[in-house]
Structure 1
């Protein structure tokens, strides 16, 4: 990594502006700001799921943000203005940094609107809506969720693809995951820590150099493999690669636009590493369907009922439904971040497929050079050529050797031209 005294004036200017963005976003913690505390859960369970959670604008007012929102928005506005002053209107890296400043200001406005209708509307601007189409004339995310549900229902009817027993407690999962990550990041200067936590909603969550495992969660070895590739090989790796950037330090931090790309990349890694499975896919599909229900007017009790109908306990149904309504109200528009998984998977998959078709394989590993966003990939290629961005140090084996991935995508490109309806008709007598 280049030291600061080895950088030229232009590089130092970019580094200085980039560092200001990283510093400014430090106190913004979206998931901490929108989560519901344990008293809401306890009260909901006490009333046996018959009453809406007592969450409104006043509830969030009692949980103030850790920063002055007006001052923070002004800080990002000043950074954006200085980017234009120092780099010009059309400078490529400047355009990325200005968009990040605008996104962070929008994030702050969303957090200011917690408990109101504006929260959900701004969330849709940042993360998308279930009714969004991928491309003109294509199915929407909600269509994808329904289609996947139909496929998964057909699999469930078999009855012989049951999940392995979840016989690993959190401590055992921590030990096993730590062992596997030590093999991947063994030579890393940074130590990747895996530890238990009782303060997270999901089974696991990744930070800059750590992965937290929920204390009361149960796992099997397939779960641990999924965590290894999803949290470790993608989320931790892209953070470390971003921290290794000598100039574009902003790549270590991810605004909402990068969340879609990073979660999509993580799900793709699960698939190509054969770490995913129907129950895991069902979880992602349910999240998409829950958000679509809320967008269509369903309240918390109706979304909770959707999970209950699938056999989830009342407590698990509460946890799942609360993901869709956190930051909002039990009758408001949803928090749409959980669309990032399936939406991002489709977008990243299409991007890699097109890169293979066009013979631009060198673009693909750059997805891992930090918290990247798909719309910036051409610019990142240019920034690598200019020496402003360094190639990723940590890459999953599937992306460090693109032979197998390229071959798979070549077949996939051809298969996309075949009609599944025609195949189904022609294969009717043999399947």
Structure 2
């Protein structure tokens, strides 16, 4: 790669990083606490009253245009940069139409919709969510060994997270702070991990947050910020969300912190988004979560995730939350396919910054050219690859087995077996 080519790539990556900087999606679609307080003060019987300040997309669009002018029509690297440009432009346009039906058009373009086909061309996020929801519903009468329900308050969770990030990130460890307003229970950035003051965490939530928010979201951001030739790798834009959230949920799986409650929540989010697309309003979705056992405050927060930025009367939700299951499926399949193909060299590359799986070929080229640096921070399960390679190798083999015939055999076997009531089951 020539010196001129290196400089061109650096210039495009820098322009795109500048273009992305003002595009703050989650901040722009957030709701103030007053909306929640007013909702419950009126008996949770009226749609929330929310207003947005649409963003001016032009500064971002102008920088994206400058970056595109430097792109060429061929090659994996230029295709990667082109995808970054498109995602950043689409995000800016989405934020310019907050609170309107057009918001959903851009949201779907960025994140997809529950009925959109996945990589196999037939499976959908909605189908996966419905299947998971059905399986998990059958486990309600089984004692899974969980401790008695408990509420771990945000300040106590913050203390545990501070110790974990200090040990893992050293002098670059982010602050862990408790805040009043947050759309989710927790949100991670390179300088701070924020926990919502009113959130109630379970025993598993604490470890999930460490592996999901800290080791993945903070880790990949810090790794991306240490890419001087490719600053766009430090940008958390919507074009990388599916892979980043999928990687973070896979981290929960690999660290044995993922549980059935977490999977049920991820599935319910997809079901709720589909309800909203089909016309359900905020109150319908709020009641949907209540019916599933959520406390009123949590049901409100779950419904807010669906409608933030969109239309509260239904038909135009924020579809970001479908990416968790879709992303998990993509990341898992990529990892086991890479191992089966003898490309374990690609595994740690996933942590070099904020990226999408489709970016891997370009990043391999950039790594060979010396422009993409190895990640400094890896989650524990990726730092020592022995378990991961063993698990993925077995998983790749299992994928070749005719599971339908095997499942039919064991279903027949179990059909003749009486159900056993174990201690602790209702």
Counterpart in 2 of 1:372? 355
The answer for the alignment partner of 1:131 in structure 2 is 115
> Would you say 1:26 and 2:21 are equivalent positions?
yes
| Aligned-pair CA distance for 1:8 | 4.6
What is the CA–CA distance in structure 1 between the aligned matches of 2:67 and 2:233, rounded to whole Å? Answer: 16
Deviation per CA, 1:100-134: give whole Å up to 9, x if none. Answer: 22221111111112122111111011001100122
Residue in structure 2 matched with residue 319 of structure 1 by the alignment: 301
Q: Which residue of 1 aligns with 2:228?
A: 246
Q: Give the whole-Å Cα distance in 2 for the aligned partners of 1:136 and 1:363.
A: 22
2:57 maps to 69
1:150 aligns with 2:134: yes
**Structure 1: tracts of 5 or more residues without a match:** 1-6
Report the CA distance shift for 1:429/1:71 in structure 2 as closer, same or farther (over 3 A): closer
Which of 364, 367, 370 is equivalent to 1:384?
A: 367
Conservation of the 8 A alpha-carbon contact between 1:194 and 1:213: yes
Q: Match of 1:339?
A: 322
Give secondary structure in 2 for the equivalent of 1:316.
helix
Displacement of 1:137 in angstroms is 4.8
| Matched positions, count | 412
Q: Deviations 1:177-197 (Å, cap 9, x if unpaired)? A: 1112222122xx423221211
Residue 49 (structure 1) aligned to one of 26, 31, 44:
44
Give me the whole-angstrom Cα distance separating, in 1, the residues matched to 2:323 and 2:120. Answer: 19
3-state SS of 1:213 partner:
strand
**1:306 paired to 2:288:** yes
55, 60, 66: which one aligns with 1:78: 66
Instruction: Please report how far the alpha carbon of residue 139 of structure 1 lies from its aligned counterpart in structure 2 after TM superposition.
Output: 2.1
* 1:38 aligned to which of 20, 28, 33: 33
Match of 2:376 in 1: 393
Show the 5 A alignment for 1:24-423: 24-55=19-50, 59-60=51-52, 63-65=53-55, 68-81=56-69, 83-84=70-71, 88-162=72-146, 164-186=148-170, 189-330=171-312, 331-423=314-406
CA gap of 1:136–1:95, structure 2 versus 1, over 3 A, is closer
Contact 1:163 1:279 (8 Å CA) reproduced: no
| Consecutive unaligned residues in structure 2, runs of 5 or more | 418-426
Cα deviations across residues 290-329 of structure 1 (Å, max 9, x unaligned)? 1111122222222112111112233321211111111111
**Residues 40/11 of structure 1: CA separation in 2 closer, same or farther (3 Å cut):** same
> Is the 8 Å Cα contact of residues 35 and 48 (structure 2) preserved in structure 1?
yes
- In structure 2, the residue matched to 1:3 is none
